[in-house]
Amino acid sequence: MKQYDSFYINGEWVKSTGSQFGQVINPATEAVVAEVIEGTVEDVDRAVQAAREAFDSWSSTPSSVRADYLRKIANGLQARVDEVALAISNELGSPLQYAKSVQAQEPVEGFNLYADYASLMDQVEHIHNSMVVREAVGVCSFINPWNYPLFQIVGKVAPALAAGCTMVVKPSEITPINAFILAEVIHDAGLPAGVFNLVSGLGPVVGEAMCVHPEVDMVSFTGSTRAGTRIAELAAPTVKRVCQELGGKSPMLITEDVDSDALAAAVNYVVEDVMFNTGQTCTALTRMLVPRSRLDETNAIVKASVEALVVGDPLSDDTFVGPMSSARQRDTVQAYLKIGIEEGATLLTGGLGHPEGLSQGYYVRPTVFTNVSNEMRIAREEIFGPVMCILPYDSLEEGIRIANDTPYGLSSAVWAASKDDGLAIARKIRAGQVYVNGGEYNLEAPFGGYKQSGNGREWGAQALHEFIEIKAIQL
């Protein structure tokens, strides 16, 4: 078992001023795989001061030089992809083959993407007697989640580096190991001291200190809506810029006129979307809206699809669904399963208890409720587990209304008889992204939500704008 007692601050590994260690637990085996020191307010202050001292130099570094650093980091991370994937599988429970392809490989692509975007900072617009230029927003605090740990860190760090910002990064205390690997990669790439700083620890201590520090200009947070509102409150007195990617309860609307093959394709698309990463995905299409006339047909396809999924050891090539990230998350999902039963939803498959043969580890049964109404808690609240609700509707107008009847607006999907029909419906859904007829995720497209799903955007060229100040120079 490895012990981490130092943080990466001002270009070197320094001992924390704290004395308490948190345990990183493998959710498949319940074994402790690492101990990580819990940071303090003093650690945060040292990191922020280092970022502040590095800002003037880094922000004035030519964009081509910043791009070169980003590519060096990408290459260093690529060389350690297998190590990163295994670390994330061990600390999160993500199936290894998925951890490698998404959790480890896509962050490499993210650094390369923003190396290409760095030159956008050089754009100058001339408006009559004014010259409009772009400058880095300043020192940033990045507070990250555990479900896509490195991917979410890179979604903040890469555009911030491209823009010329300096930063303090806090990984989730549940999945911190991957962030320490990233810090090692960044150090080996020779990034100037103070540009990137890493402090791990608890949200109420480290996270809150990062939000209130007077030398921090911007806070970016990914996590629950509840925590997001707290962060906004903490940042408000000093009028920091705040970018947040929060919760979701995303709909998938299937139209009545799809043929049987399209219905099967749509159902399998949704099942895979909801169940990968053990349902711990903020964009998961957990509300499937189907015409009442197709409900029985849909139920049969969903049941067969879900029950064919392999639940088990994340290190097995056959596993699609691993354990929940923690005992706490397992207990949360179990509580919602009980709520769904008590609310009168029909349990189509899955349910309470652990999967057969998996008494050890934080496993839950992939579960589908049908005949769900949109007023039920299981249809309105983010469960963050392998749980899907099937909601029948009687007209397309009603289906769209149900899709939009949510406090969230992060993601959504439509499956219609044609892409043109799907596109017309997509324009009526209030969400930051809509997948039409099986569309794929695009790293170069903006990512973010409406309503209580947050504000601002990550990924794509639009993410760079979160880290830019616009200056008008009158000539």
272-310 residue pLDDT tens: 999 999 999 999 999 999 999 999 999 999 999 999 999
Beta partners for residue 130, in sequence order:
127, 474
Amino acid at 75: N
Note if 140 is an active site residue.
no
Q: How many residues does the chain have?
A: 475
pLDDT in tens, 119-150: 999 999 999 999 999 999 999 999 999 999 99
Q: How confident is the model at residue 1 (pLDDT cuts 50, 70, 90)?
A: confident
Contacts of 425 (CB under 8 A, 6+ apart): 253, 255, 396, 400, 414, 416
Q: Tens of pLDDT along 360-390?
A: 999 999 999 999 999 999 999 999 999 999 9
Domains and CATH numbers, the chain: 2-246+452-474 (3.40.605.10), 251-443 (3.40.309.10)
pTM of the model: 0.96
Query: Going edge to edge, which strands form the sheet with 218-222?
Result: 12-15, 6-9, 196-198, 166-170, 139-143, 218-222, 241-245, 454-455
Q: What sign does the dihedral 118-120-123-127 (CA atoms) show?
A: negative
> Among residues 173, 282, 389, 466, which one is catalytic?
282
- Residue 396 is predicted with a pLDDT of 98
Concerning whether 245 is annotated as a catalytic residue, the answer is: yes
Q: What percent of the chain has pLDDT over 70?
A: 100
What is the reported pLDDT for 16? 97
Q: pLDDT tens for residues 424-466? A: 999 999 999 999 999 999 999 999 999 999 999 999 999 999 9
Kindly name the residue from 38, 173, 245, 466 that is annotated as catalytic. 245
Distance between CA atoms of residues 156 and 85, nearest Å: 20
Q: What is the pLDDT of residues 41-73, one digit of tens each?
A: 999 999 999 999 999 999 999 999 999 999 999
Dihedral over alpha carbons 145, 149, 152, 154 (to 10 degrees): 140
For residue range 147-199, what is the model confidence (pLDDT) as tens digits? Answer: 999 999 999 999 999 999 999 999 999 999 999 999 999 999 999 999 999 99
Provide the pLDDT for residue 126.
98
